Amino acid sequence: MNHGTQYKATRRWALDPVMMMFAALAVAIALTWMIPSGQFERKGGAPNGLVLPGTYRELPKTLNGNALLPPPASKKAEDGGKEPKAVAPTAARPVSPAALVTAIPDGLVKSSNLIFMILLLGGMFGVLRTSGALDAGIERLLSVTGGRVGIVTPVVMIAISAGSTFLGLISEYLLIIPIVIALAERMGRSKLFGFAMLTLAAKVGYLASVTNPVALLIAQPIVGAPAFSGAGLRFAIWAVFLAIAIAVVLRMGRQVGKVQVHCDHQPLSLRHLAVLLVVAATVLLLVVGSATFGWRDAQFASLFVVSALLIGATAGMTPREGAHAFVDGMKSMMLAALLVGMARGVELVLRDGMILDTIIAFASHHVAMLPPVIVAPLVMLFEMFLTLLIPSTSAKAALSIPILAPIAHSVGVSGQTTVLAFLLGNGLVNMFAPTSGMLLAYLATANIPYSTWFRFVLPVFCVFTALSTAAVMIAVLIDY
């Protein structure tokens, strides 16, 4: 996978993913000079803890030449990027323009577990591609289905979306992006077709979050709702949205045109079958480890190393061949890893400038005293805006829901509906957010320019936004 071709294909520099992240950093820095700084008190005093409603206070901020200089190194740097003990600030300062470069290594350090997971995933795929088992497995799948797009596409999308909406899988799907794209190309479809088949399905699943523990175990306890309650309406939303997504992808397939697929009816060799069983076991361990044992990026990264060793040994590679394939695979993920760190740098700039709490306080003040059927869509709209600043679902829930939920409740919007508005707003914007490191990692893994994806997904986003607005309004009317 040569990511140099991605840069050549992206002629407008503004849509180059790295340039986009630099632009996002610049905008974030500018906002810290334009927006007043302030802070809510946090539960337990933790920097990332739940905010306490009614405790917002604006902090004095001096805009002078000294603020143009980067702040002195803190003990945070000496401790390897760990957060220092929380101390209530008495003043704020805008973020220095120097953060345009200093925020990048900070973001890389903060995202180190995810970045190493992505790099080691690439290494595992390098070994898998070299084994030849991936191509052989795809040929066999096409043989079984006759290469019929109308069968393969819905089955793949339903399986991927189910993992996302019921188990909260999202970063784990980096593992199968090359597989799905290779499958699409063997069916005579474009690379974008394969990418949309996976990404739309995953994003729709996360948007509905029927029983997604990553989102619900944080959001619902904040509003006092039982964990995983209210799943019926979310399931209906998931079914409708997924049906639309499948129809969109299939329609795109027809636009590409019909291509005759010559399927290989030969059975898989024993070596190839064994390699694919190792991959299947890896995927199963990802799901079980995440849902049962609380595995996260560091554990996933270790699993990919073990999987690569087993794939290489099973395929009969020499240690030298396996090592070269692993390193080549890691190289193919360098852009994805960089983008994840840069996206985290944007969030760090906004937090250092202490303007996120100000934005939350402003929004909460303006949604009060409106009819509930209007407040619910406004909460969703605000969560959409906040997602551009904080792509992380858990961080956004801890920051926004403790403030917005009591205000929404005071005008007649239930906590369950507030959570639904949060989920929909978060999921809608993460379909295209240029500040989402995970989306950019998806695109880099697939070697698809952001501009290509944005043009494709924008009409889908508009349809889903209209339906989501209707859904939260209905939720208010039925006392969800």
Report pLDDT digits (tens) over 13-45: 445 778 888 888 999 999 999 999 998 887 766
Instruction: Please give the structure tokens belonging to residue 397.
Output: 């829930």
Torsions phi, psi for 18 (to 5 deg): -70, -45
Q: What stretch of H or E contains 276?
A: helix 270-292
Identify which of 165, 168, 173, 192 has the alpha carbon closest to the alpha carbon of residue 181.
192
Mean pLDDT, residues 469-480: 95
Instruction: Please give the structure tokens belonging to residue 89.
Output: 């600030």
Torsions phi, psi for 88 (to 5 deg): -60, 120
Give the predicted TM-score (pTM) of the model. Answer: 0.76
Confidence class of residue 73 from pLDDT cuts 50, 70 and 90?
A: low
* pLDDT over 80 at 301, yes or no: yes
Confidence class of residue 6 from pLDDT cuts 50, 70 and 90?
A: very low
* pLDDT over 60 at 417, yes or no: yes
Identify which of 125, 135, 262, 250 has the alpha carbon closest to the alpha carbon of residue 189.
250
DSSP letter, residue 62: -
Number of Cα atoms under 13 Å in the Cβ half of residue 199: 29
Q: Which of 255-269, 358-372, 412-426 has the highest mean pLDDT?
A: 412-426
Confidence class of residue 79 from pLDDT cuts 50, 70 and 90?
A: very low
Residue 377: its pLDDT value, please? 94
Number of Cα atoms under 13 Å in the Cβ half of residue 67: 15
Q: What stretch of H or E contains 301?
A: helix 297-314
Identify which of 156, 249, 168 has the alpha carbon closest to the alpha carbon of residue 208.
168
Residue 402: its pLDDT value, please? 85
CA distance 20 to 16: 6
Neighbours of 46 (CB within 10 A): 12
* pLDDT over 70 at 303, yes or no: yes
Confidence class of residue 410 from pLDDT cuts 50, 70 and 90?
A: confident
Identify which of 260, 261, 277, 273 has the alpha carbon closest to the alpha carbon of residue 136.
273
Identify which of 449, 434, 393 has the alpha carbon closest to the alpha carbon of residue 22.
434
Mean pLDDT, residues 81-86: 49
CA distance 225 to 311: 45
* pLDDT over 80 at 135, yes or no: no
Whether the CB-CB separation of 122 and 338 falls below 8 Å is answered with no
Q: Is 32 exposed, middle or buried (0-12, 13-18, 19+ CB in 10 A)?
A: buried
Mean pLDDT, residues 4-11: 42
Residue 337: its pLDDT value, please? 83
Identify which of 442, 186, 187 has the alpha carbon closest to the alpha carbon of residue 337.
442
For the ranges 245-254, 286-295, 449-458, which has the lowest average pLDDT?
286-295
Residue 232: its pLDDT value, please? 92
Confidence class of residue 253 from pLDDT cuts 50, 70 and 90?
A: low
For the ranges 42-56, 88-102, 338-352, which has the lowest average pLDDT?
42-56
Report the SS3 class of residue 47: coil
Confidence class of residue 214 from pLDDT cuts 50, 70 and 90?
A: confident
* pLDDT over 70 at 239, yes or no: yes
**Can you give the length of the chain in residues?**
480
Residues 6 or more apart in contact with residue 375 via CB below 8 angstroms: 367, 407, 408, 411, 412, 413
Residues 6 or more apart in contact with residue 208 via CB below 8 angstroms: 165, 234, 235, 237, 238, 241, 423, 427
Report the SS3 class of residue 260: coil
Residues 323-368: pLDDT tens digits?
Answer: 999 999 898 888 878 888 888 888 889 888 888 888 888 877 777 7
Residue 409: its pLDDT value, please? 84
